[in-house]
Structure 1
Amino acid sequence: MQPSLTGVAPILSVENLTTSFRVNNEWKSVVRNVSFDVAPRETVAIVGESGSGKSVTSLSIMRLLPKATSKIEGKVTLGGKELLSLPEEQMRRVRGNDISMIFQEPMTSLNPIFPIGRQISEALMVHRDISKAEAKAEVIRLLEKVRIPNAKNRFDEYPHQFSGGMRQRVMIAMALATKPKLLIADEPTTALDVTIQGQILDLIKVLQEEEGMSVLFITHDMGVVAEVADRTIVMFRGEQVETGATDDIFHRGQHPYTRALLSAVPKLGSMGTRKLPLRFPIVDTTTGEQIVMADVADTVAKGKTPILDVKDLTTRFDIRSGLFSRKSGAVHAVEKVSFQLFAGETLSLVGESGCGKSTTGRSITRLVEPTEGKVTLDGYEVMQLDRSALRTMRRSIQMIFQDPFASLNPRMSVGSAVMEPFVEHNLGTKQQAREKAADLMAKVGLSPDMMRRFPHEFSGGQRQRVAIARALMLDPKVIVADEAVSALDVSIKAQVCNLLLDLQQNLKLAFLFISHDMAVVERVSHRVAVMYLGEIVEIGPRAAVFENPQHPYTQKLIAAVPVPDPSRRSIKRNMSTDEIKSPIRPVDYVAPIRQYREVSEGHLVQVA
């Protein structure tokens, strides 16, 4: 083990790590010759897109890959121990005591049938010689340390009783239980809302200072990297293409891929008072040259009848309990929501999970039945349509969902999937459907030859393009994009957003863009509506809402966004750890009548 540049021996030293998987009886390397050190109390980030090898690198260090189908070569040294040659029993002790890992999705890492207190207690008792009572006291201390309110009373609660952010805190508490020297955090904030992400990043910083541990942080979010990492390793197609101090990587990155990653990151506040959306810059990953993007033209049909008019939309889900399943309350998912959307316009609905934005989109299309309100879409009174008329109406409005793999039939070729709506609505012959599908595949940047392939043969970004092509088959006037880019890597996200802007300009589409990613919303929107507990608390032109946010919740959302600026690394937001309030109300609850004040033209904020 070599001393680091500071003269202090590193906690973790990785030399020429190469990991291969057995495919068709041949070894195929997916990580090649990766080398780096992590010093005491240092945070090192490994950054790259899906498939770059960053998660395989962390799993190789932990030796968590299946032995039969994987081969790890090179040298991994942790605190003087060579890990790759350790017997399995000793490696298990290292995993429990010296090195811990937090995974991306806490719900798949926690056992749903055991209380969270018991799960952390077991981890403690396996690795430390302590009694059950001592373990419980230590677990409560850990839960308080990760800022879980009312920790003592939550000891016996189950994972499903915690929000996503609180479950991630439980996972961090479990990882810290044995006071590890190194914490590996594999995409720990990717699935979280922006405010929860901010809390978790702050928490990891604080705990690192208090515990004195080193952190290996794996992510594809350059904003997160800037806020947490002392040094950064950039990976591309299984190889380490650039390594250096985070500040150098961000301001003086040399490799074309590094520059491409950085250029694709939307910077909150970069739009200023600009009224129209703006395409994302795209950089060639081979040459590092930026592809010049034309500005977006104004496509909004001002002063005309809106293509979509929503008034006092309310959607509630009954809660039934007791022997006779009597109604005992209701989830007030959407409460008296009103807005208009014009042809060629993008209105973004933003807010945290559970605020009602997705239910709003589904209620408008009547995929979920609203409780009351009025929805007018392209001349249709949506709430009054029978089944046959509703089917016809849906030709005017289509949805793009977050997970294209879940919304595409794995047994159906993508060509058949794209053609299906056209055929089902009897809009022409199969040959006409095939020709239109081929044309749309080309429009979304895919080759018509790919129509014979199946969904599993495409990347995530390509599958989302297929989903967009399918949504366009019926020539809709409105598209509801429900977290359509949230699961995509940063550069793929930029490409898909650019595609949506191009389609809007060419086809005069109106978008209801549902997202919790404030930086993306700022780039693609004409107007923004902020939702909290089923209600719109602020709505207005994008520039007005972002430059002059009035509602405390809007201010909180904007303040939580990670900014890709390494100079902010020492900043802590001191955000509240409160969970979002419950939208469940008793049977006799009467929603208050809300008042709005106009801040500027078209910019309305709810009066408390």
Structure 2
Amino acid sequence: MTTPILSVQDLTVAFRSEQAWRPVVHGVSFDIGPKETVALVGESGSGKSVTAMSIMRLTPRDSTRTGGRVLLEGRDLLRLPDAEMRRIRGDDVAMIFQEPMTSLNPVLTVGFQIGEALRLHRGLSQRQAEAETVRLFDKVRIPAAASRVHDYPHRFSGGMRQRVMIAMALACRPKLLIADEPTTALDVTIQAQILDLIKLLQEEEGMSVLFITHDMGVVAEIADRTVVMVDGRAVEAGATEQIFRRPVHPYSRALLAAVPTLGAMKGQPHPARFPIVDRATGEPEAAVPLPDTVREGERPVLEVKGLTTRFDIRGGLLSRVRGRVHAVENVSFAVRAGETLALVGESGCGKSTTGRSVLRLIEPVAGSVLVDGEDVLGLSPSALRACRRRMQMIFQDPFASLDPRMSVGAAIAEPLLINRLCSRSEARARAADLLRRVGLKPEMASRFPHEFSGGQRQRICIARTLALEPRLIVADESVSALDVSVKAQVVNLMLDLQASLGLAYLFISHDMAVVERVSHRVAVMYLGEIVEIGPRAAIFGAPQHPYTKKLIAAVPVPDPGRRRQLHAVRSDEIKSPIRPVDYVPPERLYREVAPGHVVQVWGPEWEAPAGMAAVA
């Protein structure tokens, strides 16, 4: 039998809280063999990140009590002196964190930060360290590596910053790489690139990987074995294929049931709720079919024509306009009552700016936005305030959307009081009713935002959005940051509310698998323009534009049998939307390939580079 690189035996972790020790990890054990990838899976609060931090001995020393054994090739990391542990970190064991921008020093170049590790651990000179950094940048596929080593972190996109972190982790050729949610905050195409990169580098370097995630689709793509955690305990462990085919523990079955799978909606004409499995029994709840909610004969709730939003870039002594960000360029679409139009694309494509421009949270420079036939862009401030009762927004981060000093009941009642729609006592009663409607208890109204989980906070934001009985809701990445099972619950809630209230949704997301389940129509954005729009079945079943095909090809497939396959995704960054002051956008041509399915005619820039197959 092969000796494991890492053996975690009966690991326990407790944090000191108010003079008492609170256990958070209970007797977790697993092994990682040479060149093996083990996934540690669970929702937020399951203890998986604490387990990884304890392996690296990065938890606060004064407030943490750790027990058990963590053996790295026979050496117990929990018993080593601090100096020896410092040598092991980055040398024998390296770690990639979820948010690269918080892991990189913003005042130092990325080359200096990687070179520092090379000089400290491998004893290289400054010139040798810079040459090795360039080689590492080439290895992780960062374009123009020799020039980019002198750039600061803010000059890189999110995906490229994560590549820098991988280069830093690989600098000392570790035997074990711990990747803690390295793709959670990334767009689907960037996520595919990072997963492919980790697979390739693992083959080349022969290292073992501990991959921490809550995304079962990612687990299927990368892990040889999987350990499922809940409430600080490992409840199931085994070969990834076995856990996906025949999960034993009810919690494992509940996690897998909530995974959005691309292609699951084939043949279904309307959006459908996620199947929910009881995590205590593992039994599926009864499926609730949704009716066709789109009101075809009525005038659309939202009509957008030629919407254009640009931001000036100023510089120089007199702050003259030096250029413009063409964030949204000549965008047109409509949304009917009871309909969900999904706006999809990578970060920087302009989808969130489009949503904010529709509500006039950002002022567009051209176009028209009609809500129930009324032009929002021409309204006075007082008329706009009245119009906003009919259109509301759900933001991505519910915690940042709620006042931490205000109880959730007061936060839900506030729009009613500001618009003078009822008395304080009536507003409190209405807030209690809204909490009940979104699946929370009325008595929770007196609690504050920090006392709720992320999914519960998003439900509170939805309740506040419904307070004014809007006709249109702009949901801006409203489920992107949620765990997979919580995401399923919130999406089901939104679909149920749409069915009962006839709401029109502009659903902004980069998660194509979720979009396929919730949307009636889909609009694909690239560099501020809609490149393809049509019915959901047409976009996913017969995509036409190369960019749409790229997005769909990048979606992780929850099938362990495909985990050795790489994605057919180009690794280039999304182009910059910054243009000169005198730039005139070219006239775009569109063709209708099927009823309601319109695609922008593309140029040679979308042809696959030499030596690379076209995006399938």
- TM-score > 0.5 by shorter chain: yes
Q: CA deviation at 1:521?
A: 0.2
Give the corresponding residue for 1:281.
275
* Cα separation, 2, equivalents of 1:68 and 1:83: 18
| Contact 1:273–1:547, Cα closer than 8 Å, also in 2 | no
Q: What letter is aligned with 1:331?
A: V
Is residue 239 from structure 1 mapped to residue 233 from structure 2 by the alignment? yes
Partner residue of 1:248 out of 235, 242, 245: 242
Q: CA deviation at 1:432?
A: 1.3
* Cα separation, 2, equivalents of 1:304 and 1:471: 24
Partner residue of 1:201 out of 178, 191, 195: 195
SS of aligned partner of 1:427 = coil
* Cα separation, 2, equivalents of 1:124 and 1:79: 23
List per-residue Cα deviations over 1:288-347 (Å, max 9, x = no partner): 000012111111110321110000000000111111111111000000000000000000
Q: What letter is aligned with 2:519?
A: S
Is residue 376 from structure 1 mapped to residue 370 from structure 2 by the alignment? yes
| Contact 2:162–2:182, Cα closer than 8 Å, also in 1 | yes
* Cα separation, 1, equivalents of 2:585 and 2:390: 32
Is residue 356 from structure 1 mapped to residue 350 from structure 2 by the alignment? yes
Q: What letter is aligned with 1:595?
A: L
Is residue 47 from structure 1 mapped to residue 41 from structure 2 by the alignment? yes
Q: What letter is aligned with 1:496?
A: V
Alignment of 1:40-189 (within 5 A): 40-189=34-183
* Cα separation, 1, equivalents of 2:223 and 2:90: 24
Q: What letter is aligned with 1:276?
A: H
Give the corresponding residue for 2:570.
576
Q: What letter is aligned with 1:532?
A: Y
> Mean Cα displacement is larger for which, 566-575 or 331-340?
566-575
Give the corresponding residue for 2:284.
290
List per-residue Cα deviations over 1:79-104 (Å, max 9, x = no partner): 12111000111001011210000000
Q: What letter is aligned with 2:201?
A: L
Give the corresponding residue for 1:313.
307
Give the corresponding residue for 2:512.
518
Partner residue of 2:258 out of 260, 264, 272: 264
* Cα separation, 2, equivalents of 1:522 and 1:346: 11
Give the corresponding residue for 1:229.
223
Q: CA deviation at 1:436?
A: 1.0
Partner residue of 2:415 out of 416, 421, 439: 421
Q: CA deviation at 1:593?
A: 1.6
Q: CA deviation at 1:462?
A: 0.3
Unaligned runs of 5+ in 1: 1-6
Partner residue of 2:474 out of 467, 470, 480: 480
Q: What letter is aligned with 2:236?
A: E
List per-residue Cα deviations over 1:111-141 (Å, max 9, x = no partner): 0000100000001111111110000000000
| Contact 1:17–1:35, Cα closer than 8 Å, also in 2 | yes
Q: CA deviation at 1:270?
A: 1.2
Q: What letter is aligned with 2:111?
A: G
| Contact 1:350–1:515, Cα closer than 8 Å, also in 2 | yes
| Contact 1:148–1:577, Cα closer than 8 Å, also in 2 | no
Give the corresponding residue for 1:461.
455
* Cα separation, 2, equivalents of 1:303 and 1:499: 26
SS of aligned partner of 1:297 = coil
SS of aligned partner of 1:97 = coil
List per-residue Cα deviations over 1:151-185 (Å, max 9, x = no partner): 00101000000000000000000000000000000
Q: What letter is aligned with 1:438?
A: A
Q: CA deviation at 1:203?
A: 0.1
Give the corresponding residue for 2:296.
302
Partner residue of 2:533 out of 525, 531, 539: 539
Give the corresponding residue for 2:335.
341
Q: What letter is aligned with 2:379?
A: L
List per-residue Cα deviations over 1:487-519 (Å, max 9, x = no partner): 000000000000000000011000000000000
List per-residue Cα deviations over 1:386-428 (Å, max 9, x = no partner): 1000000100000000000001000000000000000000111
Give the corresponding residue for 2:613.
none
| Contact 2:553–2:569, Cα closer than 8 Å, also in 1 | no
Is residue 27 from structure 1 mapped to residue 21 from structure 2 by the alignment? yes
Q: What letter is aligned with 2:122?
A: R
List per-residue Cα deviations over 1:252-296 (Å, max 9, x = no partner): 110000000000001101111322000000000000000012111
> Mean Cα displacement is larger for which, 401-410 or 124-133?
124-133
Q: What letter is aligned with 1:199?
A: Q
Report the TM-score when normalising by structure 2.
0.97
Q: CA deviation at 1:379?
A: 2.8
Rate the CA distance shift 1:526–1:574 in 2: closer, same or farther, 3 A. closer
SS of aligned partner of 1:144 = helix
* Cα separation, 1, equivalents of 2:542 and 2:305: 26
Q: What letter is aligned with 1:383?
A: L
* Cα separation, 2, equivalents of 1:574 and 1:415: 48
* Cα separation, 1, equivalents of 2:219 and 2:235: 16
SS of aligned partner of 2:40 = strand
SS of aligned partner of 1:277 = coil
Q: What letter is aligned with 1:470?
A: R
Give the corresponding residue for 2:614.
none
| Contact 1:202–1:574, Cα closer than 8 Å, also in 2 | no
* Sequence identity percentage: 67
* Cα separation, 1, equivalents of 2:122 and 2:257: 47
| Contact 1:331–1:584, Cα closer than 8 Å, also in 2 | yes
Q: What letter is aligned with 1:29?
A: P
SS of aligned partner of 1:165 = helix
SS of aligned partner of 2:79 = coil
SS of aligned partner of 1:353 = coil
List per-residue Cα deviations over 1:577-607 (Å, max 9, x = no partner): 2110000010111111212111111010001
Give the corresponding residue for 1:504.
498
Is residue 442 from structure 1 mapped to residue 436 from structure 2 by the alignment? yes
Give the corresponding residue for 1:592.
586
* Cα separation, 1, equivalents of 2:362 and 2:68: 54
Q: CA deviation at 1:574?
A: 4.6
Report the TM-score when normalising by structure 1.
0.99
| Contact 2:225–2:240, Cα closer than 8 Å, also in 1 | yes
* Cα separation, 2, equivalents of 1:363 and 1:355: 14
SS of aligned partner of 1:500 = helix
| Contact 2:250–2:278, Cα closer than 8 Å, also in 1 | yes
Q: CA deviation at 1:473?
A: 0.5
Q: What letter is aligned with 1:516?
A: H
SS of aligned partner of 1:57 = helix
| Contact 2:46–2:233, Cα closer than 8 Å, also in 1 | yes
* Cα separation, 2, equivalents of 1:574 and 1:298: 36
| Contact 2:553–2:568, Cα closer than 8 Å, also in 1 | no
Give the corresponding residue for 2:611.
none
Q: CA deviation at 1:435?
A: 1.2
Q: What letter is aligned with 1:453?
A: R
* Cα separation, 1, equivalents of 2:587 and 2:429: 52
* Cα separation, 2, equivalents of 1:533 and 1:293: 39
Alpha carbon RMSD of aligned pairs, Å? 0.6
Give the corresponding residue for 1:3.
none
Q: What letter is aligned with 2:529?
A: E
Give the corresponding residue for 1:561.
555
SS of aligned partner of 1:283 = coil
List per-residue Cα deviations over 1:440-483 (Å, max 9, x = no partner): 10000000100000000000000000000000000000000000
| Contact 1:46–1:54, Cα closer than 8 Å, also in 2 | yes
